[in-house]
Amino acid sequence: MTDTVRVIVNGEPQAVPRGSTLLGVLRTLALDPRTVVVEHNRHIVRRPALDAVSVAPGDAIELVHFVGGG
């Protein structure tokens, strides 16, 4: 049993420590939770709940923010 699991973050495979929460995934990626919106398997997870949701192998995570647009 490895100590990491593979999840899909923004369409790309990403290894994160087994048992990570969504907040842990953000930490692994060096992202500030205040600057991103997290969608976990198509459900938006709000900031206060990020440390309460664990990720499982194969989970689809989308990390989005505002960029310039019309």
Partner 1 sequence: MAIPLEGGRDTPFEVGGRAFRSRLMVGTGKYADPAVMVRALEASGADIVTVAVRRVNLDRAGSDDGILGRLDPKRFFLLANTAGCYTAAEAMRYARLGREAGFNDFVKLEVIGDQETLLPDVAGLLEAARALVQEGFHVLAYTNDDLVTALRLEDAGVAAVMPLASPIGSGLGLLNPYSIRLLKQRLHVPVVVDAGVGTASDACVTMEQGVDGLLMNTALAAARDPVAMGHAMRLAVAAGRMAFLAGRMPRREVAVPSSPLEGMLD
Q: Which of residues 1-40 bind partner 1 (CB under 8 A)?
A: 9-12, 14, 29-31, 35-37, 39
Structure tokens at 44: 């938006």
Q: Which residues of 22-40 are buried (b: 16+ CB within 10 A; e: fewer)?
A: bbbbbebeebebeebebbb
CB of 61 to partner 1, least distance (A): 11
d(CA 39, CA 56): 14
Comparing CB distances to partner 1, the nearer of 1 and 13 is 13
Beta pairing partners, 34 = none
Residue 60 is a binding residue for partner 1 (CB under 8 A)? no
Q: Summarize as ranges the residues that interact with partner 1 (CB under 8 A).
A: 9-12, 14, 29-31, 35-37, 39, 42, 44, 46, 62-70
